[in-house]
Structure 1
Amino acid sequence: MVLVAHGSRDPRAAEATRALARAVSAARPGVDVWPSWLDHTEPGPTEVLRALAVAGHRRAVLVPLLLTAAYHRRVDIPAAVAAATRSGPPLAVRVTDVLGPADGSVDAALLAGLRRRLGEVCPGRFDALVLAAAGTRDARARGSVGRVADALGVEFGVPCRVSYASAAPPGAGVAVSRLRAAGARRVAVAGYFLAPGLFHDAVAESARAAGAVAVSAPLTDAPEVADLVLRRVDDRSGRVVAPAG
Protein backbone atom coordinates (compact mmCIF):
# COMPACT_ATOMS: atom_id res chain seq x y z
CA MET A 1 0.00 0.00 0.00
CA VAL A 2 1.43 3.38 -1.04
CA LEU A 3 0.07 6.57 0.53
CA VAL A 4 0.57 9.74 -1.52
CA ALA A 5 0.41 13.12 0.20
CA HIS A 6 0.60 16.55 -1.39
CA GLY A 7 3.86 17.50 0.31
CA SER A 8 4.92 20.69 2.06
CA ARG A 9 8.03 22.63 2.99
CA ASP A 10 6.80 22.42 6.59
CA PRO A 11 8.41 19.35 8.21
CA ARG A 12 5.33 18.85 10.40
CA ALA A 13 3.38 17.81 7.30
CA ALA A 14 5.74 14.99 6.38
CA GLU A 15 5.76 13.70 9.95
CA ALA A 16 1.94 13.70 9.95
CA THR A 17 1.96 11.53 6.81
CA ARG A 18 4.45 9.13 8.36
CA ALA A 19 2.29 8.92 11.49
CA LEU A 20 -0.77 8.09 9.38
CA ALA A 21 1.20 5.41 7.54
CA ARG A 22 2.12 3.87 10.90
CA ALA A 23 -1.52 4.00 12.02
CA VAL A 24 -2.73 2.32 8.82
CA SER A 25 -0.02 -0.35 9.13
CA ALA A 26 -1.05 -1.07 12.72
CA ALA A 27 -4.68 -1.38 11.65
CA ARG A 28 -3.84 -3.80 8.80
CA PRO A 29 -1.08 -6.15 10.08
CA GLY A 30 0.89 -7.94 7.42
CA VAL A 31 0.51 -5.21 4.79
CA ASP A 32 3.47 -2.97 4.03
CA VAL A 33 2.46 0.70 4.02
CA TRP A 34 4.76 3.21 2.34
CA PRO A 35 4.37 7.02 2.55
CA SER A 36 5.25 9.20 -0.44
CA TRP A 37 4.84 12.82 -1.49
CA LEU A 38 4.13 14.67 -4.72
CA ASP A 39 6.35 17.62 -3.81
CA HIS A 40 8.90 18.94 -1.31
CA THR A 41 9.53 15.60 0.45
CA GLU A 42 11.06 12.37 -0.80
CA PRO A 43 10.41 9.73 -1.90
CA GLY A 44 7.82 10.43 -4.56
CA PRO A 45 5.22 7.83 -5.57
CA THR A 46 7.09 6.94 -8.77
CA GLU A 47 10.23 6.06 -6.83
CA VAL A 48 8.31 3.99 -4.27
CA LEU A 49 6.41 2.06 -6.95
CA ARG A 50 9.58 1.35 -8.92
CA ALA A 51 11.32 0.12 -5.78
CA LEU A 52 8.41 -2.19 -5.00
CA ALA A 53 8.52 -3.63 -8.53
CA VAL A 54 12.27 -4.23 -8.29
CA ALA A 55 11.76 -5.93 -4.93
CA GLY A 56 9.45 -8.44 -6.60
CA HIS A 57 6.01 -7.05 -5.85
CA ARG A 58 3.54 -7.41 -8.71
CA ARG A 59 0.57 -5.46 -7.35
CA ALA A 60 0.23 -2.25 -5.35
CA VAL A 61 -2.61 -0.05 -4.16
CA LEU A 62 -2.01 3.69 -4.16
CA VAL A 63 -4.14 5.89 -1.88
CA PRO A 64 -4.21 9.64 -2.56
CA LEU A 65 -4.11 11.45 0.78
CA LEU A 66 -6.20 14.25 -0.68
CA LEU A 67 -9.53 15.68 0.42
CA THR A 68 -10.65 16.76 -3.06
CA ALA A 69 -10.34 15.15 -6.49
CA ALA A 70 -8.72 18.20 -8.09
CA TYR A 71 -5.57 18.65 -10.19
CA HIS A 72 -3.25 16.46 -8.12
CA ARG A 73 -5.65 13.50 -8.33
CA ARG A 74 -6.55 14.02 -11.96
CA VAL A 75 -3.11 14.82 -13.35
CA ASP A 76 -0.14 14.42 -11.01
CA ILE A 77 -0.94 11.01 -9.57
CA PRO A 78 -1.79 9.30 -12.90
CA ALA A 79 1.43 10.76 -14.32
CA ALA A 80 3.45 9.36 -11.42
CA VAL A 81 1.91 5.92 -11.83
CA ALA A 82 2.46 5.97 -15.60
CA ALA A 83 6.12 6.86 -15.10
CA ALA A 84 6.56 4.03 -12.61
CA THR A 85 4.99 1.37 -14.84
CA ARG A 86 6.48 2.49 -18.15
CA SER A 87 9.58 0.33 -17.82
CA GLY A 88 11.19 -2.15 -15.46
CA PRO A 89 9.56 -5.15 -13.78
CA PRO A 90 5.79 -5.35 -14.29
CA LEU A 91 3.64 -3.80 -11.58
CA ALA A 92 -0.15 -3.46 -11.59
CA VAL A 93 -1.22 -0.37 -9.63
CA ARG A 94 -4.73 0.35 -8.44
CA VAL A 95 -5.41 3.98 -7.50
CA THR A 96 -8.23 4.52 -5.01
CA ASP A 97 -10.56 7.46 -4.61
CA VAL A 98 -9.41 10.43 -2.56
CA LEU A 99 -10.40 10.61 1.11
CA GLY A 100 -12.96 13.35 0.54
CA PRO A 101 -16.29 12.79 -1.23
CA ALA A 102 -15.70 11.16 -4.60
CA ASP A 103 -19.16 9.89 -5.54
CA GLY A 104 -21.34 12.53 -3.90
CA SER A 105 -21.49 10.91 -0.46
CA VAL A 106 -19.50 11.91 2.61
CA ASP A 107 -17.93 8.95 4.39
CA ALA A 108 -18.98 8.54 8.01
CA ALA A 109 -15.35 8.02 9.00
CA LEU A 110 -14.40 11.44 7.64
CA LEU A 111 -17.17 13.11 9.64
CA ALA A 112 -16.16 11.16 12.73
CA GLY A 113 -12.56 12.37 12.38
CA LEU A 114 -13.69 15.99 12.06
CA ARG A 115 -15.98 15.52 15.06
CA ARG A 116 -13.09 14.08 17.08
CA ARG A 117 -10.82 17.02 16.35
CA LEU A 118 -13.55 19.54 17.17
CA GLY A 119 -14.26 17.78 20.45
CA GLU A 120 -10.61 18.06 21.42
CA VAL A 121 -10.65 21.87 21.28
CA CYS A 122 -14.31 22.73 21.81
CA PRO A 123 -16.04 20.27 24.15
CA GLY A 124 -18.78 22.82 24.85
CA ARG A 125 -21.57 24.01 22.60
CA PHE A 126 -21.21 26.27 19.59
CA ASP A 127 -23.98 27.74 17.48
CA ALA A 128 -22.22 27.93 14.10
CA LEU A 129 -19.35 26.24 12.28
CA VAL A 130 -16.84 27.07 9.56
CA LEU A 131 -15.23 24.26 7.58
CA ALA A 132 -11.81 25.67 6.65
CA ALA A 133 -10.19 23.99 3.62
CA ALA A 134 -6.94 24.60 1.77
CA GLY A 135 -8.66 25.86 -1.37
CA THR A 136 -8.86 25.02 -5.06
CA ARG A 137 -9.89 26.67 -8.32
CA ASP A 138 -11.71 23.49 -9.33
CA ALA A 139 -15.44 24.12 -9.00
CA ARG A 140 -16.28 20.42 -8.65
CA ALA A 141 -13.72 20.04 -5.89
CA ARG A 142 -15.19 23.05 -4.07
CA GLY A 143 -18.58 21.41 -4.42
CA SER A 144 -17.27 18.36 -2.58
CA VAL A 145 -16.04 20.59 0.26
CA GLY A 146 -19.52 22.11 0.39
CA ARG A 147 -21.05 18.66 0.78
CA VAL A 148 -18.80 17.98 3.76
CA ALA A 149 -19.83 21.31 5.30
CA ASP A 150 -23.50 20.49 4.79
CA ALA A 151 -23.07 17.06 6.37
CA LEU A 152 -21.11 18.49 9.30
CA GLY A 153 -23.79 21.11 9.88
CA VAL A 154 -26.46 18.42 9.98
CA GLU A 155 -24.27 16.38 12.34
CA PHE A 156 -24.13 19.22 14.87
CA GLY A 157 -27.44 20.86 14.08
CA VAL A 158 -25.87 24.26 13.35
CA PRO A 159 -25.16 26.36 10.25
CA CYS A 160 -21.82 25.39 8.66
CA ARG A 161 -20.11 27.57 6.09
CA VAL A 162 -17.06 26.88 3.93
CA SER A 163 -13.87 28.94 3.88
CA TYR A 164 -10.59 28.57 2.00
CA ALA A 165 -6.98 29.36 2.82
CA SER A 166 -6.18 30.05 -0.85
CA ALA A 167 -7.50 30.08 -4.42
CA ALA A 168 -11.11 30.92 -3.54
CA PRO A 169 -13.06 33.17 -1.16
CA PRO A 170 -14.04 33.57 1.58
CA GLY A 171 -11.16 33.27 4.02
CA ALA A 172 -11.73 31.77 7.45
CA GLY A 173 -11.81 35.13 9.22
CA VAL A 174 -14.39 36.47 6.77
CA ALA A 175 -16.59 33.39 7.19
CA VAL A 176 -16.42 33.67 10.99
CA SER A 177 -17.24 37.39 10.85
CA ARG A 178 -20.25 36.79 8.61
CA LEU A 179 -21.69 34.18 10.95
CA ARG A 180 -21.15 36.45 13.95
CA ALA A 181 -22.78 39.35 12.11
CA ALA A 182 -25.76 37.08 11.42
CA GLY A 183 -26.19 36.48 15.16
CA ALA A 184 -23.98 33.51 16.00
CA ARG A 185 -22.32 33.97 19.38
CA ARG A 186 -19.98 30.98 19.46
CA VAL A 187 -18.41 30.08 16.10
CA ALA A 188 -16.04 27.11 15.91
CA VAL A 189 -13.78 26.27 12.98
CA ALA A 190 -13.18 22.72 11.75
CA GLY A 191 -9.83 22.41 10.02
CA TYR A 192 -10.35 20.41 6.82
CA PHE A 193 -6.68 19.49 6.52
CA LEU A 194 -4.81 16.21 6.70
CA ALA A 195 -1.57 17.75 7.96
CA PRO A 196 -0.34 20.89 9.70
CA GLY A 197 1.38 23.63 7.74
CA LEU A 198 1.27 27.28 6.78
CA PHE A 199 -2.30 27.11 5.47
CA HIS A 200 -3.69 25.70 8.70
CA ASP A 201 -1.63 28.19 10.72
CA ALA A 202 -3.07 31.06 8.67
CA VAL A 203 -6.61 29.75 9.09
CA ALA A 204 -6.20 29.52 12.86
CA GLU A 205 -4.78 33.02 13.13
CA SER A 206 -7.44 34.72 11.00
CA ALA A 207 -10.32 32.77 12.56
CA ARG A 208 -9.29 33.59 16.10
CA ALA A 209 -8.77 37.24 15.19
CA ALA A 210 -12.35 37.29 13.89
CA GLY A 211 -13.66 35.88 17.20
CA ALA A 212 -13.79 32.10 16.66
CA VAL A 213 -14.01 30.24 19.97
CA ALA A 214 -11.92 27.30 18.72
CA VAL A 215 -10.04 25.99 15.69
CA SER A 216 -9.56 22.25 15.39
CA ALA A 217 -6.25 20.61 14.50
CA PRO A 218 -5.67 18.78 11.19
CA LEU A 219 -6.93 15.21 10.94
CA THR A 220 -3.37 13.73 10.74
CA ASP A 221 -3.37 10.17 12.14
CA ALA A 222 -6.78 10.11 13.78
CA PRO A 223 -8.07 6.52 13.99
CA GLU A 224 -11.00 7.47 11.78
CA VAL A 225 -8.62 8.59 9.02
CA ALA A 226 -6.71 5.31 9.14
CA ASP A 227 -10.07 3.56 8.90
CA LEU A 228 -11.02 5.75 5.94
CA VAL A 229 -7.80 4.85 4.13
CA LEU A 230 -8.61 1.17 4.55
CA ARG A 231 -12.18 1.75 3.36
CA ARG A 232 -10.76 3.23 0.16
CA VAL A 233 -8.41 0.27 -0.24
CA ASP A 234 -11.20 -2.24 0.28
CA ASP A 235 -13.64 -0.44 -2.04
CA ARG A 236 -12.86 -1.67 -5.54
CA SER A 237 -15.51 0.33 -7.38
CA GLY A 238 -14.35 2.91 -9.88
CA ARG A 239 -10.73 1.87 -9.59
CA VAL A 240 -8.03 2.88 -12.02
CA VAL A 241 -5.61 0.10 -12.91
CA ALA A 242 -2.29 1.04 -14.47
CA PRO A 243 -1.04 -1.35 -17.12
CA ALA A 244 1.53 -3.86 -15.89
CA GLY A 245 4.84 -3.48 -17.67
Structure 2
Amino acid sequence: MVLVAHGSRDPRAAEATRALARAVEAARPGTRVLPSWLDHTDPGPTEVLRALAADGHAEAVVVPLLLTAAYHRRVDVPAAVAAARETAPELAVRVTDVLGPADGTVDAGLLAGLRRRLAEAEPGGVDALVLAAAGTRDARARGSVGRVAVALADEFGLSCTVSYASAAPPTADVAVARLRAAGARRVAVAAYFLAPGLFHDGVVAAARAAGAVAVSGPLTDAPELADLVLRRVDAATPV
Protein backbone atom coordinates (compact mmCIF):
# COMPACT_ATOMS: atom_id res chain seq x y z
CA MET A 1 0.00 0.00 0.00
CA VAL A 2 1.42 3.40 -1.01
CA LEU A 3 0.04 6.50 0.69
CA VAL A 4 0.46 9.63 -1.42
CA ALA A 5 0.36 12.94 0.46
CA HIS A 6 0.48 16.41 -1.02
CA GLY A 7 3.75 17.34 0.68
CA SER A 8 4.81 20.42 2.59
CA ARG A 9 7.93 22.30 3.62
CA ASP A 10 6.69 21.92 7.20
CA PRO A 11 8.27 18.77 8.70
CA ARG A 12 5.19 18.22 10.86
CA ALA A 13 3.21 17.35 7.73
CA ALA A 14 5.57 14.55 6.71
CA GLU A 15 5.54 13.13 10.22
CA ALA A 16 1.73 13.14 10.17
CA THR A 17 1.80 11.05 6.98
CA ARG A 18 4.26 8.61 8.54
CA ALA A 19 2.05 8.37 11.62
CA LEU A 20 -0.97 7.54 9.47
CA ALA A 21 1.06 4.87 7.65
CA ARG A 22 1.90 3.30 11.00
CA ALA A 23 -1.75 3.45 12.07
CA VAL A 24 -2.92 1.75 8.87
CA GLU A 25 -0.28 -0.97 9.26
CA ALA A 26 -1.43 -1.55 12.84
CA ALA A 27 -5.05 -1.78 11.69
CA ARG A 28 -4.19 -4.41 9.06
CA PRO A 29 -1.28 -6.54 10.28
CA GLY A 30 0.82 -8.09 7.57
CA THR A 31 0.28 -5.26 5.10
CA ARG A 32 3.23 -3.08 4.18
CA VAL A 33 2.26 0.60 4.14
CA LEU A 34 4.69 3.09 2.61
CA PRO A 35 4.33 6.89 2.70
CA SER A 36 5.18 9.09 -0.29
CA TRP A 37 4.75 12.72 -1.26
CA LEU A 38 3.96 14.63 -4.44
CA ASP A 39 6.17 17.57 -3.50
CA HIS A 40 8.70 18.88 -0.96
CA THR A 41 9.44 15.50 0.68
CA ASP A 42 11.03 12.31 -0.63
CA PRO A 43 10.31 9.69 -1.75
CA GLY A 44 7.73 10.38 -4.42
CA PRO A 45 5.11 7.78 -5.37
CA THR A 46 6.84 6.88 -8.65
CA GLU A 47 10.05 6.06 -6.79
CA VAL A 48 8.20 3.94 -4.21
CA LEU A 49 6.28 2.00 -6.87
CA ARG A 50 9.44 1.30 -8.85
CA ALA A 51 11.17 0.07 -5.70
CA LEU A 52 8.27 -2.26 -4.93
CA ALA A 53 8.46 -3.73 -8.43
CA ALA A 54 12.22 -4.17 -8.10
CA ASP A 55 11.66 -6.02 -4.83
CA GLY A 56 9.40 -8.48 -6.62
CA HIS A 57 5.98 -7.20 -5.57
CA ALA A 58 3.28 -7.96 -8.12
CA GLU A 59 0.62 -5.53 -6.91
CA ALA A 60 0.33 -2.18 -5.15
CA VAL A 61 -2.56 -0.01 -4.07
CA VAL A 62 -2.08 3.76 -4.22
CA VAL A 63 -4.06 5.83 -1.73
CA PRO A 64 -4.23 9.59 -2.44
CA LEU A 65 -4.23 11.30 0.95
CA LEU A 66 -6.44 14.07 -0.36
CA LEU A 67 -9.81 15.34 0.79
CA THR A 68 -11.06 16.47 -2.63
CA ALA A 69 -10.70 15.03 -6.12
CA ALA A 70 -9.14 18.16 -7.58
CA TYR A 71 -5.99 18.62 -9.69
CA HIS A 72 -3.66 16.44 -7.64
CA ARG A 73 -6.01 13.44 -7.82
CA ARG A 74 -6.98 13.96 -11.44
CA VAL A 75 -3.51 14.75 -12.82
CA ASP A 76 -0.56 14.32 -10.46
CA VAL A 77 -1.39 10.91 -9.00
CA PRO A 78 -2.21 9.23 -12.35
CA ALA A 79 0.96 10.75 -13.84
CA ALA A 80 3.07 9.31 -11.03
CA VAL A 81 1.55 5.86 -11.53
CA ALA A 82 2.03 6.04 -15.31
CA ALA A 83 5.68 7.02 -14.87
CA ALA A 84 6.28 4.03 -12.60
CA ARG A 85 4.65 1.62 -15.01
CA GLU A 86 6.85 2.79 -17.87
CA THR A 87 9.75 0.97 -16.21
CA ALA A 88 7.72 -1.57 -14.24
CA PRO A 89 4.84 -2.66 -16.50
CA GLU A 90 4.55 -5.93 -14.60
CA LEU A 91 3.35 -4.12 -11.46
CA ALA A 92 -0.44 -4.16 -11.14
CA VAL A 93 -1.58 -0.88 -9.59
CA ARG A 94 -4.92 0.10 -8.14
CA VAL A 95 -5.71 3.70 -7.17
CA THR A 96 -8.33 4.47 -4.55
CA ASP A 97 -10.78 7.32 -4.25
CA VAL A 98 -9.74 10.31 -2.18
CA LEU A 99 -10.63 10.33 1.51
CA GLY A 100 -13.26 13.02 1.09
CA PRO A 101 -16.71 12.30 -0.37
CA ALA A 102 -16.69 9.61 -3.05
CA ASP A 103 -19.63 9.58 -5.46
CA GLY A 104 -21.21 12.29 -3.34
CA THR A 105 -21.21 10.18 -0.18
CA VAL A 106 -19.58 11.43 3.02
CA ASP A 107 -18.03 8.48 4.83
CA ALA A 108 -19.25 8.05 8.41
CA GLY A 109 -15.66 7.45 9.50
CA LEU A 110 -14.60 10.84 8.16
CA LEU A 111 -17.31 12.49 10.23
CA ALA A 112 -16.30 10.45 13.27
CA GLY A 113 -12.70 11.59 12.86
CA LEU A 114 -13.78 15.23 12.68
CA ARG A 115 -15.93 14.72 15.77
CA ARG A 116 -12.98 13.14 17.60
CA ARG A 117 -10.70 16.07 16.85
CA LEU A 118 -13.36 18.57 17.90
CA ALA A 119 -13.86 16.75 21.19
CA GLU A 120 -10.10 16.83 21.78
CA ALA A 121 -10.17 20.60 21.33
CA GLU A 122 -12.58 20.71 24.30
CA PRO A 123 -14.91 23.43 23.04
CA GLY A 124 -17.64 22.70 25.59
CA GLY A 125 -21.10 23.60 24.37
CA VAL A 126 -21.15 25.24 20.95
CA ASP A 127 -23.97 26.75 18.94
CA ALA A 128 -22.40 26.93 15.46
CA LEU A 129 -19.60 25.30 13.47
CA VAL A 130 -17.16 26.27 10.74
CA LEU A 131 -15.58 23.60 8.56
CA ALA A 132 -12.19 25.07 7.64
CA ALA A 133 -10.61 23.61 4.49
CA ALA A 134 -7.41 24.35 2.60
CA GLY A 135 -9.15 25.81 -0.44
CA THR A 136 -9.36 25.17 -4.16
CA ARG A 137 -10.44 26.94 -7.34
CA ASP A 138 -12.17 23.75 -8.47
CA ALA A 139 -15.93 24.25 -8.07
CA ARG A 140 -16.59 20.50 -7.88
CA ALA A 141 -14.04 20.15 -5.10
CA ARG A 142 -15.65 23.02 -3.20
CA GLY A 143 -18.98 21.26 -3.61
CA SER A 144 -17.42 18.20 -2.01
CA VAL A 145 -16.34 20.28 1.00
CA GLY A 146 -19.84 21.69 1.19
CA ARG A 147 -21.29 18.19 1.40
CA VAL A 148 -19.06 17.46 4.38
CA ALA A 149 -20.26 20.67 6.06
CA VAL A 150 -23.89 19.63 5.53
CA ALA A 151 -23.18 16.18 6.96
CA LEU A 152 -21.35 17.68 9.94
CA ALA A 153 -24.28 20.03 10.58
CA ASP A 154 -26.63 17.04 10.60
CA GLU A 155 -24.24 15.15 12.88
CA PHE A 156 -24.21 17.92 15.50
CA GLY A 157 -27.65 19.41 14.90
CA LEU A 158 -26.05 22.83 14.36
CA SER A 159 -25.45 25.19 11.48
CA CYS A 160 -22.09 24.63 9.78
CA THR A 161 -20.52 26.97 7.26
CA VAL A 162 -17.41 26.43 5.13
CA SER A 163 -14.25 28.54 5.16
CA TYR A 164 -11.06 28.29 3.11
CA ALA A 165 -7.45 29.06 3.87
CA SER A 166 -6.76 29.98 0.23
CA ALA A 167 -8.20 30.22 -3.29
CA ALA A 168 -11.82 30.89 -2.28
CA PRO A 169 -13.76 32.95 0.27
CA PRO A 170 -14.59 33.19 3.07
CA THR A 171 -11.59 32.83 5.35
CA ALA A 172 -12.02 31.30 8.80
CA ASP A 173 -12.08 34.63 10.61
CA VAL A 174 -14.77 35.99 8.29
CA ALA A 175 -16.88 32.84 8.67
CA VAL A 176 -16.62 32.97 12.47
CA ALA A 177 -17.40 36.70 12.55
CA ARG A 178 -20.49 36.22 10.37
CA LEU A 179 -21.85 33.50 12.63
CA ARG A 180 -21.24 35.62 15.70
CA ALA A 181 -22.91 38.61 14.05
CA ALA A 182 -25.91 36.38 13.33
CA GLY A 183 -26.23 35.57 17.03
CA ALA A 184 -23.96 32.57 17.65
CA ARG A 185 -21.99 32.93 20.86
CA ARG A 186 -19.84 29.80 20.90
CA VAL A 187 -18.45 29.00 17.47
CA ALA A 188 -16.07 26.05 17.05
CA VAL A 189 -13.95 25.37 13.98
CA ALA A 190 -13.51 21.84 12.62
CA ALA A 191 -10.21 21.68 10.75
CA TYR A 192 -10.67 19.78 7.47
CA PHE A 193 -6.97 19.06 7.13
CA LEU A 194 -5.01 15.82 7.09
CA ALA A 195 -1.79 17.30 8.48
CA PRO A 196 -0.49 20.36 10.32
CA GLY A 197 1.23 23.16 8.45
CA LEU A 198 1.03 26.79 7.43
CA PHE A 199 -2.63 26.68 6.40
CA HIS A 200 -3.80 25.05 9.62
CA ASP A 201 -1.69 27.43 11.71
CA GLY A 202 -3.29 30.35 9.88
CA VAL A 203 -6.79 29.00 10.47
CA VAL A 204 -6.12 28.62 14.19
CA ALA A 205 -4.79 32.17 14.54
CA ALA A 206 -7.50 33.79 12.42
CA ALA A 207 -10.41 31.90 13.96
CA ARG A 208 -9.23 32.54 17.50
CA ALA A 209 -8.81 36.24 16.75
CA ALA A 210 -12.39 36.34 15.46
CA GLY A 211 -13.73 34.78 18.66
CA ALA A 212 -13.88 31.03 18.00
CA VAL A 213 -13.95 29.06 21.25
CA ALA A 214 -11.98 26.15 19.78
CA VAL A 215 -10.21 25.01 16.63
CA SER A 216 -9.64 21.30 16.18
CA GLY A 217 -6.39 19.69 15.15
CA PRO A 218 -5.84 17.99 11.78
CA LEU A 219 -7.09 14.44 11.30
CA THR A 220 -3.52 13.04 11.00
CA ASP A 221 -3.55 9.46 12.34
CA ALA A 222 -7.03 9.33 13.86
CA PRO A 223 -8.19 5.68 14.07
CA GLU A 224 -11.25 6.57 12.01
CA LEU A 225 -9.01 7.88 9.24
CA ALA A 226 -6.92 4.70 9.21
CA ASP A 227 -10.12 2.67 8.90
CA LEU A 228 -11.29 4.92 6.07
CA VAL A 229 -8.02 4.32 4.21
CA LEU A 230 -8.62 0.58 4.44
CA ARG A 231 -12.18 0.92 3.15
CA ARG A 232 -10.90 2.89 0.18
CA VAL A 233 -8.26 0.21 -0.46
CA ASP A 234 -10.83 -2.59 -0.37
CA ALA A 235 -13.01 -0.74 -2.88
CA ALA A 236 -10.20 0.24 -5.28
CA THR A 237 -10.22 -0.87 -8.91
CA PRO A 238 -7.23 -1.45 -11.25
CA VAL A 239 -5.96 1.42 -13.40
User: Shorter-chain TM-score category?
Assistant: over 0.9
- Render the CA deviation track for 1:79-128: whole Å, top value 9, x for unaligned: 00000001236101000000000210100000000000000112521000
SS of the residue corresponding to residue 200 of structure 2 reads helix
- Closer/same/farther in 2, CA of residues 88 and 105 from structure 1, 3 Å limit: closer
Question: Mind listing any 5+ residue stretches in structure 1 that lack a counterpart?
Answer: none
Using the alignment, how far apart are the partners of 1:131 and 1:34 within structure 2?
29
**Corresponding position of 2:170:** 170
Distance in 2 (alpha carbons) for counterparts of 1:174 and 1:224: 30
Q: Kindly provide the CA deviation profile for residues 117-174 of structure 1, in whole angstroms up to 9, marking residues without a partner as x.
A: 0001125210000000000000000000000000001111110000000000000000
For residues 19 and 108 of structure 1, the distance between their equivalents in structure 2, rounded to whole angstroms, comes to 22
Corresponding letter in the other structure for 1:60:
A
> What amino acid does structure 2 have at the position aligned with 1:26?
A
Give the structure 2 partner of residue 7 of structure 1: 7
Aligned partners of 2:202 and 2:50: how far apart in 1? 37
Aligned residues: 239
Aligned partner of 2:143 in structure 1 is 143
Using the size of structure 2 for normalisation, the TM-score is 0.99
Cα distance, 1:235 vs structure 2: 1.4
Tell whether 2:112 aligns with 1:118.
no
Aligned to 1:29: 29
Q: Is the 8 A contact 2:123 2:214 kept in 1?
A: no
C-alpha separation in 2, matches of 1:12 and 1:21: 14
Runs of 4+ in 1 over 4 A off after TM superposition: none
Please state whether the residue corresponding to 1:86 is helix, strand or coil.
helix
- 1:10–1:197 Cα contact (<8 Å) kept: yes
Structural mapping, 1:40-59, within 5 Å: 40-59=40-59
For 1:211, what is the secondary structure of its paired residue? coil
Provide the rounded CA distance (Å) in 2 between the counterparts of 1:131 and 1:196: 16
Match of 1:206 in 2: 206
Given that 2:5 and 2:36 are in contact with CA atoms closer than 8 Å, whether structure 1 keeps it comes out as yes
* 1:59-80 deviation per Cα after TM superposition (whole angstroms, max 9, x unaligned): 1000000000000000000000
Counting only pairs closer than 5 Å after superposition, residues 180-219 of structure 1 correspond to structure 2 as 180-219=180-219
Deviations 1:178-203 (A, max 9, x none): 00000000000000000000000000
Any gaps of 5 or more consecutive residues in structure 2? none
The code of the aligned residue for 1:175 comes to A
TM-score (norm 1): 0.96
Q: Distance in 1 between matches of 2:166 and 2:30?
A: 40
CA–CA separation in structure 2 for the residues paired with 1:88 and 1:167: 37
Q: Contact conserved, 1:54 with 1:89, CA < 8 A, in 2?
A: no
Q: Identity over aligned residues, as a percent?
A: 82
Deviations 1:179-235 (A, max 9, x none): 000000000000000000000000000000000000000000000000000010111
Question: Structure 2 counterpart of 1:6, which letter?
Answer: H
* Counterparts of 2:132 and 2:114, CA distance in 1: 11
Secondary structure (helix, strand or coil) at the match of 1:94 reads strand
Cα-Cα RMSD? 0.8
Contact 2:123 2:188 in 1 (8 A): no
Partner of 2:109: 109
Residue 130 of structure 2 corresponds to 130
